[in-house]
Amino acid sequence: MEPYLSDLRPSIAAIIAARRAQLGVRLSSAALIICIFQLQTGLSWALAWGVTYFTVQLVEYFVFRKVDETRAMARSAERVFFALTMANSAAFTSFGLLLAASGSWGVMCAGILWSGTIAHVTINSGGSRQTLQCALLPPVLAFFALPGFILRDGGNLTDCITAVAAGLFSGFGTVAMWNVYQKLLKSATRAREFGRQAQFDSETGLPNRAALNQRTDELASTASGVVVVAAIGIDRFSHLRGAIGHAPMVELIAQLAERLSSAFNGIPVMRLSSGHLGLAFVARDMAEAFHLAATLQGAVTRPLQLRDTHVDVSVTIGLSEAADALQHAADLAILDRALIAVEQAREARRHIASFDAKLYGNPGATLSLMSEMSRAFDNGQMTIAYQPKYDLRSGAIVGAEALARWDHPERGALRPDLFVEMAEETGHIGELTEWVLRRAVRDQHRLRAAGFNLSIAVNWSGHLLDDVGFTDTALEIARGAAGKLCLEVTETAIIGNAGLARQTLERLRAAGLTISIDDYGSGLSSMAYLKNIPADELKIDKAFVLNMATDPVDAVLVRAAVSLAHSLGLQVVAEGVEQQAALDLLGEMGCDLAQGYLIARPIPLQDLVAYLGDRATDPASAAV
Ligand code: C2E
Ligand code: CA
Ligand code: CA
């Protein structure tokens, strides 16, 4: 027993040593194979994925069309896909099991094979968690059978642990790869989506402003000649959209873009805003650019076919020169210049115009001017000139119109219609009117103190008619007046604003203010609205009065206005009386009041006091 045992011990020890040595080799070769395999699968799939991605990008770039979107699979298609994944994985698992049954090395190969299968399937699955589960399930189940094979094959517990560890390692590697792949996929999809949004209009799928800017830059750096951007404004856009509906309008725009593009050798047409398309092209000079723009316009003379109907569309084109815009890069981009040119063309009632910097003026200066206005009230730059209103029957001055005057230290005397319009557009008109009204009330007291009782008229912007708060303030100020106050409101302001304007005017009248309809006849309004306006006075626009003594048509119109106003119970004022003959004619027509250079120009308060004083003391000077 003893010698037998002593023989056996070294041989067992040798076997154990050999086994241990074998284990090291097995472990290291298993790890090596797994690493190489994971690396190889990972790299090859990453490569395949990258190539596909860039191919798609290239195709999109050259075809210049919409980028595809990853669409969710339909439910049934999804089920078939999962079943296929499961079957695929199960087939490989079975094959792996077969290999495993043939020995310990077979077990290693099976593990590697399975993990490869899983990697393949998951990467192909597009990052679906369910697909990963379908692919993982068969090999995970198969792993439970592994220890049995190993032990049967003469392996021991260490072998079992080695095999299971290799499988787990492989599994974790697969899951890690899946995660990396998912992140790549997501960020790539997001990047593509961002890229798409940045370059394309979401409604029509047409390239957008950014794309046009890019194209302009490309042309500017490569082409010889004048690089021009054309903004194509769809005329009466809102009206048309209201008439045909939003969705058909989008269709119409896409069709229009196609029409314009094909008229221009397939140049891409972009969408710049809801009602504007645009494109960039190269011309020899601006004359040729106008000629090419006319071709574009010609392309829409034929109506567009929308579903079953023909739709007539006309466009106005604004051109802007890239080189010109670059010189003034700080103030306006080339694209904005083209868009402004569309407006300039429309205002000039033309079909095509190039950007006119002089016409556009200097909005930066406008803004700074408005910020200066508040200071102008206090530092004496802003003053008021009063223009007398003459009573044709009594020959007396019965009122005066307060007209704002701004003597700017750098820009000289600013035209009131200019800064009044700016104030209206920038929301400063309330400030200006309040200042004028306070001054008018103060000056009326001064006139009163000098012995003159005049009705003072203040020009009232239409923008103020729907400002209830402002009306409250104005009424508060008017309460302190020393005599009659009159508000001159243009007819267009009242008509454009019928509901609230009426209420405001009624409130003002109820408080004792006189309402005068200014610039009567200058708008294109119908006479019918007159009966609905709560007013006391009608002021005939100077355009009809200036030449009424020589132009019989003007005279007829003034006569008609006088009789219309009287029959509506309104007092009539004629402004712009420059000639004695006109004044005489107005007297004969029965006009009540006259205002104009013949009587007096707008003058400062002290001059007005002097003027009124002269008239009172010297009856000869009172005769106009
Ligand atoms: P408006 O209310 O029609 O004022 C009459 C304009 O005609 C004044 O020009 C006046 O100087 C001018 N005018 C008066 N008589 C004659 C004449 O016999 N011949 C000619 N050719 N012109 C005459 P102004 O002062 O340049 O004012 C222009 C416009 O600016 C005014 O037109 C008014 O709409 C606006 N405006 C002036 N001051 C104010 C103000 O304080 N507030 C508001 N909202 N608008 C004002
Ligand atoms: Ca006026
Ligand atoms: Ca007027």
Least confident of 26-40, 223-237, 393-407: 26-40
What whole-number distance in Å separates Cα of residue 501 and Cα of residue 352? Answer: 38
In a domain, 41, yes or no: yes
Ligand 1 binding pocket includes 596 (Cβ within 6 Å): yes
Range of the domain at 320: 209-360
Do 88 and 219 belong to one domain? no
Backbone angles phi, psi at 118, to 5 degrees: -60, -45
Check residues 447 and 361 and name the one with the higher pLDDT. Answer: 447
Burial of 429 (0-12, 13-18, 19+ CB in 10 A): buried
Check residues 376 and 325 and name the one with the higher pLDDT. Answer: 376
What whole-number distance in Å separates Cα of residue 171 and Cα of residue 175? Answer: 6
Do 352 and 287 belong to one domain? yes
Do 319 and 418 belong to one domain? no
**pLDDT of 327 over the 70 cut:** no
Q: 420 CA distance to ligand 1 centroid (A)? A: 10
Number of domains composing the chain: 3
Burial of 413 (0-12, 13-18, 19+ CB in 10 A): exposed
Ligand 1 binding pocket includes 2 (Cβ within 6 Å): no
Q: What is the 3-state secondary structure (H, E, C) of 281-306?
A: EEECCHHHHHHHHHHHHHCCCCCEEE
Backbone angles phi, psi at 387, to 5 degrees: -110, 120
In a domain, 298, yes or no: yes
What whole-number distance in Å separates Cα of residue 244 and Cα of residue 233? Answer: 18
* Atom 20, ligand 1: residue with shortest CA distance: 576
In a domain, 201, yes or no: no
Ligand 1 binding pocket includes 576 (Cβ within 6 Å): yes
Do 328 and 220 belong to one domain? yes
* Atom 17, ligand 1: residue with shortest CA distance: 576
Q: 417 CA distance to ligand 1 centroid (A)? A: 7
Q: 402 CA distance to ligand 1 centroid (A)? A: 9
Do 122 and 185 belong to one domain? yes
Ligand 1 binding pocket includes 518 (Cβ within 6 Å): yes
Choose one of 334, 360, 386: the last residue of a domain. 360
User: 234: domain CATH number?
Assistant: 3.30.70.270
Confidence of residue 67 (pLDDT cuts 50, 70, 90): very low
- Cβ(487)–Cβ(457) under 8 Å? yes
Q: 230 CA distance to ligand 1 centroid (A)? A: 39
Q: Give the torsion sign (CA, 274, 280, 281, 286).
A: positive
436 dihedral zone (left: phi>0; alpha: psi -120 to 50; beta): alpha
In a domain, 204, yes or no: no
Ligand 1 binding pocket includes 387 (Cβ within 6 Å): yes
In a domain, 46, yes or no: yes
Nearest Cα neighbor of 115 from 62, 196, 177, 203 is 177
In a domain, 624, yes or no: no
* Atom 29, ligand 1: residue with shortest CA distance: 417
What whole-number distance in Å separates Cα of residue 384 and Cα of residue 150? Answer: 108
Choose one of 315, 332, 360: the last residue of a domain. 360
Nearest ligand 1 atom to alpha carbon 602 = 11
pTM over 0.85: no
Kindly report, residue by residue over 220-273, the tens digit of the pLDDT: 888 788 999 999 999 999 888 888 888 899 999 999 999 999 998 889 999 998
What whole-number distance in Å separates Cα of residue 602 and Cα of residue 265? Answer: 61
What whole-number distance in Å separates Cα of residue 513 and Cα of residue 466? Answer: 17
Ligand 1 binding pocket includes 404 (Cβ within 6 Å): yes
Do 382 and 409 belong to one domain? yes
State the Cα torsion 487-489-495-496 to the nearest 10°: -110
Least confident of 527-536, 592-601, 604-613: 527-536
- Cβ(379)–Cβ(343) under 8 Å? no
Choose one of 335, 360, 385: the last residue of a domain. 360
Q: 424 CA distance to ligand 1 centroid (A)? A: 16
Kindly report, residue by residue over 452-496, the tens digit of the pLDDT: 999 999 999 988 988 889 999 999 999 999 999 999 998 777 766
Do 145 and 184 belong to one domain? yes
Do 331 and 380 belong to one domain? no
Do 182 and 215 belong to one domain? no
* Atom 25, ligand 1: residue with shortest CA distance: 403
Do 214 and 178 belong to one domain? no
Confidence of residue 398 (pLDDT cuts 50, 70, 90): very high
Q: What is the model's pLDDT at position 157?
A: 80
Confidence of residue 124 (pLDDT cuts 50, 70, 90): low
Q: What is the model's pLDDT at position 45?
A: 54
Do 378 and 351 belong to one domain? no
Do 267 and 284 belong to one domain? yes
- Cβ(545)–Cβ(575) under 8 Å? yes
The best mutation among 390, 407, 420, 583 to test binding of ligand 1, ranked by most ligand atoms within 8 Å of the C-beta, falls on 420
**pLDDT of 602 over the 70 cut:** yes
Please report where in the chains the tokens 């699979």 appear, as a residue.
73
Nearest ligand 1 atom to alpha carbon 575 = 15
Q: What is the model's pLDDT at position 72?
A: 38
Average pLDDT over residues 305-312: 86
**pLDDT of 46 over the 70 cut:** no
* Atom 34, ligand 1: residue with shortest CA distance: 417
What whole-number distance in Å separates Cα of residue 538 and Cα of residue 573? Answer: 6
What whole-number distance in Å separates Cα of residue 78 and Cα of residue 69? Answer: 17
- Cβ(392)–Cβ(592) under 8 Å? yes
User: 605: domain CATH number?
Assistant: 3.20.20.450
Q: 343 CA distance to ligand 1 centroid (A)? A: 27
**pLDDT of 293 over the 80 cut:** yes
Write down the mean pLDDT value for the chain: 81
* Atom 35, ligand 1: residue with shortest CA distance: 417
In a domain, 536, yes or no: yes
DSSP 360-392: H--HHHHHHHHHHHHHHHHSSSEEEEEEEEEET
221 vs 62, 77, 323, 547, CA distance in Å?
A: 20, 50, 11, 58
Q: 371 CA distance to ligand 2 centroid (A)? A: 25
* Atom 30, ligand 1: residue with shortest CA distance: 417
Kindly report, residue by residue over 544-584, the tens digit of the pLDDT: 999 999 999 999 999 999 999 999 999 999 999 999 999 99
Q: Spell out a b/e string for 298-322, using b for 16 or more CB atoms within 10 Å of the CB, else e.
A: ebbeeebeeeeeebebebbbbbbbb
